[in-house]
Structure 1
Amino acid sequence: MQTVLEVIGWAGSLLVVASLMQARVLRFRWMNLVGAVLATGYNAAIGVWQFAFMNLAITVIDIYWLTRLYRERHDAEVYQVLPVDAANAFLRHLLDVHRDDIAAHAPWFDVAADAGTAAGGSRHTFLVVRGDEAVGVVAVTDAGGGVGRVELDWVKERFRDFTPGEFVYRESDVLRSAGFDRLEIAPREELDEEYLRRVGFTMHGDRWARPVAA
């Protein structure tokens, strides 16, 4: 029995420590929660009530934040979409700071390309923001005839367990205002197909596509 308790205590401590090294918000909260629950049980079992109370408090805090994060993940009042000029200084700074991460997830996207154009037409860029923090960027190239080709749908690692790009596709009129009736994405190995389906894209011929909501 003592051995089992020790294993639970160590597991809880290691999970709490490991959670602090997680960049993703949801992953951090879930690991921290499980670790705190185990540590609460261990400390209560051996009668160390100060640490049992501390870890119980952490458990309650984690449950609060997880509930809030899941409640807000699809809330259009929490995430907003801002159309920005492709030459916008803040946008250029954001893309440059996260150049390596963007290259890993969208190697075809040229961060250093001319600010207003891309291969095949002009580029429209949309910032997804949460409060005063920019959490993602969607860049769409105008292919003519109301068709937009999504060249970049990127989100910061902290928010990668969420789908803030959906607010560009579903919850705003920015695409319609930019003159798009249809969006297309060329199939690529790096694409998250589950995410594309979740935000309304389906395969049409040789590419992913979805209409732009009126």
Structure 2
Amino acid sequence: MVWWEIVGWIGSLLVIISLTQARVLRFRVINLVGAVIATAYNVVIEIWPFAVMNGVIAIIDVYWLVRLQRERHDAQVYGVLEVPSDDAVLQHLLESHAPDIARFHPGFSAADPAPSASFVVVRGDELVGAVVVRSAGDGVGRVDLDYVTPRYRDFTPGEFVYRDSGVFASHGFRRLVVGGSPATEATAYLERVGFRPTADGWEREVPTAA
């Protein structure tokens, strides 16, 4: 029974750890594992109220994990709004998450020349990200910011901005570029939204607007 006591403590610890997670997907995964372990432990020692409670929690976690995975690429769930560079909502996002933005985009500054195109990504009434593109001249748009809030860091809401290439063509862009050497996780995302590696970074052609 000593081993089962350890198992029970592990399950409880995982449930507690899950509550400290800002990322919604990570929270659900850790909470599910903890709830399943806690359910098994309480069944073995026959504490049925807690077994049922944790079992229901596990079912709820599975439901949300399936739903989140199903909706992560659904344009009916995520929306994109093009906004002016001085838009209050965009500025609020940039100011509220300034330290986090500096961590992932150290070269970005809201004080730089006004961007040619700015977008915010929403999920319902929740602001989940922003994409800022500045002109580099000769039809080239430099992606200076492609940011996701910590809660949705496990998802890629920025992809909904790139789905409609017409918004970039309307600003006179023929190519989009991302400089530097992104992390492995970021390169997978860039490939998924149409960028390809070049000698100077990453590049994506913009189809001519119809």
TM over 0.5: yes
Is structure 2 residue 132 aligned with structure 1 residue 139? yes
Equivalent position amino acid for 2:177 in 1:
E
Aligned equivalent of 1:84: 83
Q: Is the 8 A contact 1:99 1:111 kept in 2?
A: no
Aligned equivalent of 1:107: 106
Aligned equivalent of 1:27: 26
Aligned residues: 207
Worse-matched range after superposition: 192-201 or 94-103: 192-201
Mapped to 1, the partners of 2:144 and 2:174 lie a distance apart of 16
How do 1:57-68 and structure 2 match up within 5 A?
Answer: 57-68=56-67
Equivalent position amino acid for 1:28 in 2:
F
Worse-matched range after superposition: 183-192 or 105-114: 183-192
**Which structure 2 residue ranges, 5 or more long, are not aligned?**
none
Q: Is the 8 A contact 2:32 2:57 kept in 1?
A: yes
The alignment's TM-score, normalised by the length of structure 2, stands at 0.92
Deviation of residue 180 (structure 1)? 2.2
Aligned equivalent of 2:154: 161
Worse-matched range after superposition: 142-151 or 14-23: 142-151
Aligned equivalent of 1:4: 3
Dislocated runs of 4+, deviation >3 Å:
188-191
Q: Is the 8 A contact 1:19 1:28 kept in 2?
A: yes
Equivalent position amino acid for 1:211 in 2:
E
Equivalent position amino acid for 1:196 in 2:
L
Post-superposition CA distance 1:131-162 (Å, at most 9, x none):
11110010001223332110000100110100
Mapped to 2, the partners of 1:161 and 1:93 lie a distance apart of 22
Equivalent position amino acid for 2:200 in 1:
D
Deviation of residue 190 (structure 1)? 5.9
Q: Is the 8 A contact 1:106 1:190 kept in 2?
A: no
Post-superposition CA distance 1:142-188 (Å, at most 9, x none):
22333211000010011010011111112564223333222111114
Aligned equivalent of 1:49: 48
Is structure 2 residue 202 aligned with structure 1 residue 208? yes
Is structure 2 residue 15 aligned with structure 1 residue 16? yes
Post-superposition CA distance 1:107-128 (Å, at most 9, x none):
10002335xx2xxxx4311101
Equivalent position amino acid for 1:20 in 2:
L
Q: Alignment partner of 2:116: what SS?
A: strand
The alignment's TM-score, normalised by the length of structure 1, stands at 0.91
Equivalent position amino acid for 1:59 in 2:
A
Mapped to 2, the partners of 1:168 and 1:78 lie a distance apart of 13
Mapped to 2, the partners of 1:180 and 1:168 lie a distance apart of 14
Mapped to 1, the partners of 2:199 and 2:20 lie a distance apart of 43
**Which structure 1 residue ranges, 5 or more long, are not aligned?**
none
Q: Is the 8 A contact 2:77 2:124 kept in 1?
A: yes
Equivalent position amino acid for 1:209 in 2:
E
Seq. identity, %: 56
Mapped to 1, the partners of 2:123 and 2:64 lie a distance apart of 16
Equivalent position amino acid for 2:52 in 1:
F
Mapped to 2, the partners of 1:79 and 1:181 lie a distance apart of 26
